Amino acid sequence: MNKPDRGERWNPPESVKLGPNTGRSLQPKDSATLIIVDRSGKQPRVLFGKRNESQAFMPGKYVFPGGRLDAADRQIKPLDELGEVCMRRLGMGVQKWTPSRGRALALAAIRETAEETGLLIGKKSSDRVTSKAEAWSPFVNKQIRPSLSGLTFVARAITPPKRARRFDSRFFLADRECVGDEIGGIVGPDTELVSLDWLSFDDALEADLPNITKVVVREVADRVKTGEMSRPASFFRFRQGKFWRGELD
């Protein structure tokens, strides 16, 4: 099994240019993504959003809901916690790791999913979420406390060096049954995502997906097909100019 290395951390002075053709790379930002699978039909389907063509980042692509970790995510108290194995794998090869960081990443995936799709992952609870952050207001208003126990950490991917934007992304998998409530009017022609589509794995692989999304789709499809949901998480990154896949177990 390939062991993940810790990776280089570099904090450049403000005068140094970063990004493509500069010889310097941005430090990746923590981000999280949620893959929601609906198994109620004859074949599993996965939720994708189509990005607005006006977006500077990945216009027109089909993506999983997700985005950057927000400071408010660290303050949310979930209904329950990530599993022990899930938390251990999240921390592998990460400097200054704490369980609270893993919890916050899972909550970021849930928050971003709510913002982009209107689906609230969690359960009704009289013990309301307390947060002044606007992004968490749907959970406050609907009395939904985010639930982490149904999430499985399936992959980590770091954007290659010298890109204009770099993310250290964690991909979580959840069943549609984990959705505790839903709000409408989220998606439209002027929003970040212009449509929400439940696609079979085969149809998803024919859609206009970012490269890393297509790789993760294949991984998740194999998990679902074989029923091996507890297999190690995959770790994707570039090393010495080549695409590298490791395992986190």
Average confidence (pLDDT) over 163-186 = 95
pLDDT range class, residue 240, cuts 50, 70, 90: confident
Q: Token digits for 65?
A: 């809901």
Q: Give the residue-averaged pLDDT of 90-115.
A: 96
Burial of 23 (C-beta count, 10 Å sphere; 0-12/13-18/19+): exposed
- Report residue 90's pLDDT band, with 50, 70 and 90 as the boundaries: very high
Give me the domains of the chain, ranges plus CATH numbers: 29-248 (3.90.79.10)
Q: Inform me whether the pLDDT recorded for 83 exceeds 70.
A: yes
Q: Answer yes or no: are the C-beta atoms of 208 and 64 closer than 8 Å.
A: no
- Is the pLDDT at 3 greater than 60? The verdict is no
For residue range 206-238, list pLDDT tens digits in order: 999 999 999 999 999 999 999 999 999 999 998
pLDDT of 110 higher than 90: yes
- Report the predicted TM-score, pTM, of the whole model to 2 decimal places: 0.89
pLDDT, average across residues 178-198: 94
The predicted pLDDT at position 243 comes to 87
Residues 6+ apart with CB under 8 A from 249: 1, 89, 232, 233
Mean pLDDT score across all residues of the chain: 90
The band of 56, judged by pLDDT with boundaries at 50, 70 and 90, is confident
Position 241 scores a pLDDT of: 82
Asked whether the predicted pLDDT for residue 17 surpasses 80, the reply is no
Residue 22: pLDDT band by 50, 70, 90 thresholds? low
Residue with tokens 């992959």: 155
* Nearest C-alpha neighbor of 5 from the set 246, 215, 233, 232: 246
Give DSSP secondary structure letters for 70-120: -GGGGG---SS---HHHHHHHHTT-TT--HHHHHHHHHHHHHHHHHHH-EE
| 151 pLDDT tier (thresholds 50, 70, 90) | very high
For the cut 80, the answer to whether the pLDDT of residue 13 exceeds it is no
Residue range 23-43: average pLDDT? Answer: 92
The secondary structure of 135-174 as a DSSP string is GGHHHHHHTEEE--TT-EEEEEEEPPTT-SS-EEEEEEEE
- Would you state the structure tokens that stand for residue 211, as one six-digit string? 């490269």
The mean pLDDT value for 9-33 works out to: 61
Non-local (6+) Cβ contacts of 229 within 8 A are 152, 173, 223
